Amino acid sequence: MRIARFTTGDDPRYAMVEGAPGAEELVVLRGDPIYMPVQLTGERVPLARADVRLLAPVIPRSKIIGVGRNYAEHVAEMGNELPAEPLLFLKPNTSVIGPDDPIVLPAWTTEVHHEAELAVVIGKVTKDVSPERALDQVFGYTVANDVTARDAQRTDGQWARAKGFDSSCPLGPWIVPGLEVDGLEISARVNGEMRQDGNTAHMVFDVAHLISYISAAFTLLPGDVILTGTPAGVGPIVHGDVVEVEVEEIGVLRNPVVRRD
Ligand code: MG
């Protein structure tokens, strides 16, 4: 199953996505499936219809928790030590944009990087969960780009601005519930050229461990999102680029990059 959030010009609605690539149909749902059981309205809308636009599949109700340095080769390329425990940071929900929305480069940075990531969407109130029970708390998985102002990340001392600015958290194109995520190809392409080519099997801390560790610090609410770290190959994006992040079995998240100054 794939769960999308979309608009045809009015308030956002949710849908199950059915059909093959290029011929998808949105099977429209009543309400938000993260918070209520799936109910069909009977309406079906072709995804390719001109007035249909996919939105970020979730706007986190309270927070996005990022995990830094969770793939060994990426830790090495940044010249960092492998962490003994997950390294956590927060992104505000105002950083979220959807498929095809522009990543807007802020005037105060000259070095913005893409980071391809698997994103976990929480489905239940979660506190102090064991790794063994952690995956029961997941609503589903989507694709994220943990867009990072690398220069500000180095100079600010902490990462709130570098990883939290408006449009620094593209999410989408939809949420896939019930996925096995311990061996998925994950990649980033810029203007069609492969930049990151990894596999979630290479995470230092797996998804169950991350949820458990995070829930020892924060109460996770339905709709909260965890970004699980990026594989090696991060690099710059500039005005005019198109960046695509893909996770196997989920889909492609595509965003143009613009600088407005
Ligand atoms: Mg990251």
108 pLDDT band, cuts 50/70/90, is: very high
Question: Does one domain contain both 21 and 78?
Answer: no
User: Is residue 110's pLDDT more than 90?
Assistant: yes
71 CA → ligand 1 middle, Å:
10
Same-domain check for residues 42 and 95: no
| Of 260 and 160, more confident | 160
Measured in Å, residue 41 CA sits from the centre of ligand 1 at 37
Residue 261 above 90 pLDDT? no
Dump strand ranges (E) for the chain. 3-7, 13-18, 25-29, 40-46, 53-55, 64-68, 87-91, 96-97, 103-105, 112-114, 116-122, 138-145, 148-149, 169-176, 185-190, 193-199, 225-227, 235-236, 242-247, 251-259
- Domain shared by 213 and 253, yes or no: yes
Instruction: Compute CA distances 106 → 19, 22, 56, 87, 261, whole Å.
Output: 38, 34, 21, 25, 9
Q: Which of 15, 35, 55 is the last residue of a domain?
A: 55
Task: Confirm whether pTM is higher than 0.95.
Answer: yes
- Which pLDDT score, from 0 to 100, does residue 209 have? 98
Q: Find the 117 Cα to ligand 1 centroid distance in Å.
A: 7
Q: Ligand 1 center to residue 109 CA distance, Å?
A: 17
Cβ atoms 29, 13 nearer than 8 A: yes
Ligand 1: centre distance to CA 29 (Å): 32
Residue 230 has pLDDT above 90, yes or no: yes
Per-residue model confidence as pLDDT tens digits over 128-155: 999 999 999 999 999 999 999 999 999 9
The CA–CA distances, whole Å, from 147 to 14, 16, 73, 127, 144 equal 26, 28, 18, 28, 9
**How remote is the CA of residue 189 from the centroid of ligand 1, in Å?**
16
CA of 66 from ligand 1 middle (Å) equals 6
pLDDT band, very low/low/confident/very high, at 160 (cuts 50, 70, 90): very high
**Total of domains in the chain:** 2
Say how many Å lie between the CA of residue 34 and the centre of ligand 1: 24
Question: Does 183 lie in the same domain as 237?
Answer: yes
- In tens, the pLDDT along 72-103 reads 999 899 999 999 999 999 999 999 999 999 99
My answer on whether 167 and 50 are in the same domain is no
- Residues 144 and 253 occupy one common structural domain: yes
Residue 49 sits in the same domain as residue 72? no
What is the residue range of 14's domain? 3-55
48 CA to centre of ligand 1 in angstroms: 31
Structure confidence at residue 71 as a pLDDT band (50, 70, 90): very high
